[in-house]
Amino acid sequence: MSYIYRPEWTQEEEILLYEIREAGVDYAHIASVIERSKVACSKKYRNTDWEQCDFYDKKTGRVKKERIEKLQGKIDKCIELYRSDKNMQVTFDGDSVKIKQNNPKWWTESQEIILYCAAKGGFHMSDVSALIGRSADACYRKLSGTLWGKKDFIDYKTKVVRPDKYGIYEEVVEQLKEKRTERENGVRQYPCEYQQGWSREDEILLYSMKNEGISYRIIASELNRSIPSCSTKYQQTIWEEKDFFDLDNLNVKAEERVMFKDRVHKLREKRLREEVVKAEIVADKIAMYTPALPIVPLSVYKKNFKSKTKNTPEEVGLILSDAHIGQEILKEETGGLSEYNLDIFKERVDRLKTATAEIVELHSCLYDLPILNIFCLGDMVAGMNDAGAWNQNYINLPIYEQFVEGTDAIAGMINYWLGLFKEIKFFGVYGNHGRMGRRGTEKEYVNWDFLMYQFLMARFKDNPRVHFTVPKTWWIFEKIQNHKFLIVHGDNMRGETWPARALNIYESKMMGILKDVPDYTIAGHYHSTAELSTNHGRVFLNGSFVGGDIYSLKDLQRSSKPEQKIFGIHGKRGVTWAYNLDLSYEKNKKDKKDSR
């Protein structure tokens, strides 16, 4: 079942979620009632402070009676159907109940009782799975992920099955013993195809398909097995010891590959078709729902005095990186050393806009500044909870809202600066926090930063004064004002305690790969500004919008200001001036009065 994305929960949905979950119903049934995903229901239930809801009765620990009267019929019907010994999926259409029978996804009460009692009785999980017709992985997940104390067939005090329900288990005890004997004697009659052992053909197909880059989801579908089963088999098998493995070529032997060549080729084409369809859907959605911003009239600053000599125009470089939108750090958690949230991020965006305007006004008195080069280095979002090693307890926004806030913020800055510059060039690379999955599970550019840049391109597609360079690579090598710039995020630098030194080593390695020498290398990631002169130019490290966070303050004993870097680029001299813009600085009345 697919669900329409709805970020806000209605009070009716919250009441249904709380009451049905308190009755012991699993998230799969709740999701079908509320028409949201299981993950969304689980996160909402675990992260909501129910005692603060106006419908919560602190005396009884349940929803107030007057607030639940209209929904009681739905709740009772759902619980009754869930507890019945049938496989069914329950949905509500108005006041009517729709039931879809024989869905193997749902566990029956009899299966749950057998699983619980067999585990208590010391039976092997493969014996239980052979009896009830489910995989051992499914049984393990069900056993560890179920709130057994909330099941109506469990006695809450003794933690055992009620006597009137225990007879279900007693009827199958002898069958379980037979399954155990079959396993111990090496004989097993599996009721399900996916529970059979791995044949030689299956092993060859598994290795061949994975070697072609085909995902476990497609492999599991082709082999009629579960995804964890395929993953575990591939990772734990010593392939070099298999008779079909070619040690010289580190692949399946050629004569064996020929037998399954067509099958693997069809799966590879299936994977490519899926990727193309996904890309086309995203592109269509971007084009359909992303409005183009109106063209902003040019209104550059006028010089306050006429220069006696005609100076050469320069271009402006501005580094944006490490906004970590969605991260939340409280003052109480750092002892007053640091604080960061969405509101603070928006305040610092406004300071960055005005600080850039003041710098441009100051330098435009000496020479023209027609072009702004924005180097966006990634980590604009704090990230998905399960995509990296960062602590999800300090992320308070879902990834979609992080993405929307970041897109609007950057678009607003570009739109504002179009009033200052004749032309804006945007260079974007992605960071590590924007990954859409754990490292290695997706391509590198499958990244929320990269998707954000695509949306920005759509926002300014009708404006000829804004140009984008957003490749799928993790680096950009660009010539600006006759000087070569290497642009990276910086998460791949290793082996040095001082980040600027690590960036210098990284630059030297990239020179060997690119067969070219950059004049300037720009990176972020480390949340601290720094510069270092090299034999052929300079390396620049950018700061962040966050400043010090829990990790840097506690584990590294380092604090830094929230800063972004701006500099001028001369056609002959290269970088002529540079400022670290302090985003935590707010002018007082005296500063505003004395400012130019």
Partner residues linked to 518 by β-bridges: none
d(CA 344, CA 545): 9
Partner residues linked to 154 by β-bridges: 161
DSSP state, residue 191? S
Q: Copy the structure tokens of residue 169.
A: 């288990």
What percent of the chain lies above the pLDDT cut of 70? 83
- The rounded Cα 524 to chain-centroid distance in angstroms is 20
* pTM for the structure as a whole: 0.52
Give the pLDDT confidence of 70-112 residue by residue, as tens digits.
788 778 777 776 665 344 444 444 444 444 444 455 788 888 8
Q: What residues contact 374, with CB distance under 8 A and at least 6 apart?
A: 318, 320, 414, 424, 425, 426, 427
d(CA 337, CA 558): 11
- In this structure, are residues 233 and 198 in contact, taking their beta carbons and an 8 Å threshold? yes
Helix, strand, or coil here: 256? helix
Q: Copy the structure tokens of residue 442.
A: 């997706």
CATH code for the part of the protein at 316-594: 3.60.21.10
Q: In the prediction, which pLDDT does 335 show?
A: 81
Q: Domain extents for the chain?
A: 11-101, 109-195, 316-594
Q: In the prediction, which pLDDT does 568 show?
A: 96
CA atoms within 13 A on the CB side of 239: 20
Tell me which H or E stretch contains 415. Answer: helix 399-417
Candidates 130, 129, 149; CA nearest to 139 is: 129
Candidates 325, 319, 346; CA nearest to 529 is: 319
Helix, strand, or coil here: 246? strand
Q: In the prediction, which pLDDT does 525 show?
A: 87
Mean pLDDT by 10 residues, the chain (596 residues): 62 86 78 79 85 84 81 77 51 45 64 87 81 78 80 80 84 83 60 57 85 78 78 83 83 78 74 70 70 74 54 93 90 84 93 94 91 95 73 80 91 94 96 84 88 93 94 94 93 70 83 89 88 85 87 72 94 93 68 46
Tell me which H or E stretch contains 579. Answer: strand 574-582
